[in-house]
Every structure is written in C-alpha cells, then in structure tokens.
Amino acid sequence: MHEAQRRTKRSGNRSAVQPRWHNQAYMLFLALRQHPDRCLSRPELIKAALALDEKISKERNLPRVFKGKTPMNSASASLTTNTDRYFIPFRPDGSRSMHFKLAYEPGNFKIAVQEYSKWEKKLAGHDWPFCFGIPKDPSILSTTTTGSSVNEEQPQQLIKKQAPPPSPPPRITEFDEFMMSRNGTAFHPPAPPSYHHDNNENKTNDTVTTPVIHNNNNINKKNLDIDHTGEDGSNIVAMKAVNELEQQQQEIKLEDLDLSNVPETWKDILRVGKSTIPGAGQGLFAKRKLPYNSPLGFYFGVPMTEDEYDSLKDGVGRASEYSIMYRRTVLDATDESGQPFTDPEGPMFCPFHFMNETSEKQANILFIEGAVVNQVICWTKRDIEPDEELFVWYGRDVDRHWTPAPSSSSTSQTNGINGKKTNSTTTTPPPSTS
C-alpha cells in the first residue's frame, strides 16, 4: 500500500540526450493515441509501436526502446504488465485477440471534472455512511471508527481489492501462435497466482497502489510492489490504516448505524479559511470532527503524461506547485494559465488544493493512491477535531524553492494555494499525438 506524492525531479542517471518520454510504455501509448479510434488489438498495437519506435529513432537519432532479438516480445510484455495503467485490456465478442484502449483521455479537463464528480457522489453515498454513521449499539464498535470503500468498482472494501478467484488458463490467441512459431516453443499456460495472505504474496495485479519512485529508470517495479515500503515508512502507515478499516468493516452493517448526521458533500465537513501558518494565506479546516481512517475526498487534477506536462505546463504559472503524481501520470490541478482554481462557483473547486504542508510526523492527512485510475484519496491519519487545520506531508524528494528548516522539530511549511514549491526541468518534447 503506498501513498501518492507530489511530483519530483528525476535524477540524472538517464542520458541527457535521451528524453524522459522515450520508453516502451510511452511508445505503446503514443501508437495507440495516434490511432483514430484509440483502440487496437494486441498484434496491431505492437506492430504500430515498433514502427513508431523505428521512425522516432531515425528522426531523432535515439536508440530503439524495443531492443534485442525479440522486440515484439518486449512490447507484448509491456502491454501485459501495464505498470503505469495507460491501457484498458478487453476482448471483443468473437475475437481471439486481446484489445487495448486508453485508460484515460490525457489533458481533457471536461472528462476529468466528470470523473471527479462521480467519485465524490460515490464517496458520499457508499463510504461516508460507514465513516460518519454512529452505532446504535456502541458495543458493536471497537475504539476505532469504521469506514467503507472508495473503490468505485467494489464499494464495500477499501483501497486494497479482494483477491479474485483463480482464472482459468488463457486461450491461445493468434499472437501466441505467432510467437510460438517464431520461437519454436510450445504453449504452457501460466499457473494461477497464489492469493495466500503472507509476506510473499504475488501482488503484481492485486495491489491497487504502487510506490511513486522516479530516481531509477531500471527499478524492478514488481519487486517494489511486493517488498519495499519506502525509507520514510509512510507506506506502512497507509497499509495499517487500510487493513484496520477492512477488518472492522466486516463487523459493521448499515442497519446498525444512525445515519442522521452523515455529510452529503465536502462543504458539510470542510471549510477554507486563513491558515494558522503565518504568511501562508489560505488553509483547509475541519467543520466537524473527522474520524480517524476515513477518506475525505480526492485531489483533483487533469491527467497528463509526464512528457506532455513537461512540454505544456512545466514552468507555466504555478502549475508545478500543484501537480501530483498517480504512478507516472501527472495530475495537473491548474487552468490553462497555470493558476489554481480558486472560484467556489467555477467549473472546478477542490478544497484539498488549499491544504498546507507540515512535517511527516505532524501531518494529519495522507495522499493515498486509489484503486480507480488517476484517483488520489485524501485520508485521515488520526481523529481531526472541529476547526483544526488539515496538513499533509509531500515527502522528502519534493523539489521546493523555499529551503526546509534543518531542524526536525520544524512544524510547518507552506504549500497549497499560497505554496512555495516549484519543479523545473529541461526536457525534449515528445512527438505530437494529435
């Protein structure tokens, strides 16, 4: 279980002449996005990506991203892994091939607002009754307040999906047959994954959160999902909170709760006002007691690939102060001029854009990567009292143009609407996808 984080600079371990967007997953993304229907079968998409890779390599004097003796295998593996969640796989009726479509339309503000509104309604209708409902019989509740799911697909569970039953062996597709004929191998269906809940559980497809790490382009993503929690330990905190909530939720039913005081919108639980940090401008405050281990809402941002963000928004206005990462997708929380949305009556107003930053120890809010693509959840780390200001910690690697105090006892630094964080990089623009 991992937290979403603010966007950070990459380290300089990649060649200066090889742009950040030049990788296998993005090459497949480009090939799919350039297709009029934004949808292709696996063989068609692989063929298109390899052709595009060759074209870009010649035009820009860059190395091929699909290398080695079996570039088609590499492309197919990248599609199957789908680490960055760029694609949605599906099989049309009567087709032997898996097809892929884009998981989201990059840079589309209207669609992003529509999705955000759906999440808010789902949260208020399916999750807050468990979070804010009061037990009719206090003896049925432990000392920790319960909650429900912010997973749009499974409203009765939190963040971490229940393990599905083992799938039957996959059918051999024409692409499988093609690859077998090339390699001279027989087809052996993979064994179904183990779903035992132990420390060595295969979480490649079960885990709906993944660490946000940008410092090493050669990191084994699978091992990160299974073994690593990050130096700051914050991922352990997120895992603990979710596991506690899942365990308690199994013992609570809606009919056991008094739902008369359950909030309906964020305006019932939050308000924007002058921050308690001197000179920080606005901040976000609780209007009522907010229970520990509860999802309060979502951090809004228009999803963009890192490459498009670098070429279109990086350095524009205050865009870099508000960008947040969902895996390798940037959620841009500003308008075309790079300014935050501050009009409560405008097309978008996200209260969590007003949160300021504090130290890791004193933060009362976590950013947790949601189960739904590009969903970043604002989650309480503890009980928050009425009129208490909400603070979040953005991580050690966040690039700021203010200098954090060297003392570990420092309580707060500004961010949010009046924040001081920037992230500036020099990049090579990716090929046009229009």
pLDDT at 384 over 90: yes
Whats the size of the chain, residue-wise? 434
CA distance 240 to 293: 10
Fold of 116-157+234-418: Beta-clip-like (2.170.270)
Task: List the single range of 33-42, 145-154, 256-265, 343-352 with lowest mean pLDDT.
Answer: 145-154
pTM: 0.66
Q: Is the pLDDT of residue 110 over 50?
A: yes
Tell whether the model's pLDDT for residue 242 goes beyond 70.
Answer: no
Instruction: Please state, as a whole number, how many other Cβ atoms lie within 10 Å of the Cβ of residue 214.
Output: 17
Mean pLDDT over the full length of the chain: 73
How far is Cα 363 from Cα 238, in angstroms, rounded to an integer? 13
Q: What is the DSSP string of 262-288?
A: --SSGGGTEEEEE-SSTT--EEEEESS
pLDDT in tens, 327-353: 888 999 999 999 999 999 999 999 999
Higher-confidence residue of 143 and 94: namely 94
Mean pLDDT value across residues 386-395: 92
Q: How confident is the model at residue 149 (pLDDT cuts 50, 70, 90)?
A: very low
* Residue 404 identity (one-letter amino acid): P
pLDDT of residue 263: 97
Distances (CA, A) of 75 to 190, 219, 276: 19, 18, 51
Q: Which of 412, 378, 376, 389 is nearest to 282 (CA)?
A: 389
pLDDT at 243: 64
> What is the token pair recorded at 285?
């405050």
Note the pLDDT of residue 112: 95
First vs last C-alpha separation in the chain: 36
* 401 DSSP assignment: S
Which of 18 and 117 is assigned the larger pLDDT?
117
More confident residue, 146 or 225: 146
Q: What is the pLDDT of residues 2-47, one digit of tens each?
A: 565 555 444 444 444 677 778 899 899 999 988 988 999 999 999 9
The larger pLDDT score, comparing residue 297 to residue 162, is at 297
CB 291, CB 383: distance < 8 Å:
yes
Quote the tokens at residue 243. Answer: 């596991």
The pLDDT score that the predictor gives to residue 244 is 65
The pLDDT of residue 104 is 86
Q: Is the pLDDT of residue 169 over 70?
A: no
Residue 40, CA distances (Å) to 50, 102, 108, 128, 350 in order: 14, 10, 21, 39, 35
At residue 65, the pLDDT reads 94
Instruction: Give the helix ranges, DSSP H, for 141-213.
Output: 174-183
Q: For residues 414 and 318, is the Cβ–Cβ distance under 8 A? A: no
pLDDT tens digit sequence for 288-299 = 999 999 999 999
In 3D space, the residue among 82, 245, 83, 224 whose CA is nearest the CA of residue 150 turns out to be 245
User: Looking up tokens 């102060």, which residue turns up?
Assistant: 321
Query: Which stretch of 11-15, 54-58, 247-251, 302-306 has the lowest confidence by average pLDDT?
Result: 11-15
- Where are the domains positioned within the chain? 116-157+234-418
pLDDT band at 254 (very low <50, low <70, confident <90, very high): confident
Statement: residue 214 has pLDDT above 90: no
Which one has a higher pLDDT value, 227 or 26? 26
Per-residue pLDDT, 362: 92
- Residue 184: pLDDT above 80? no
Residue 382 Cα distances to 261, 361, 379, angstroms: 20, 12, 9
pLDDT of residue 186: 44
Query: Over the stretch 53-83, which tens digit does the pLDDT of each residue have?
Result: 999 999 989 999 998 899 999 999 999 999 8
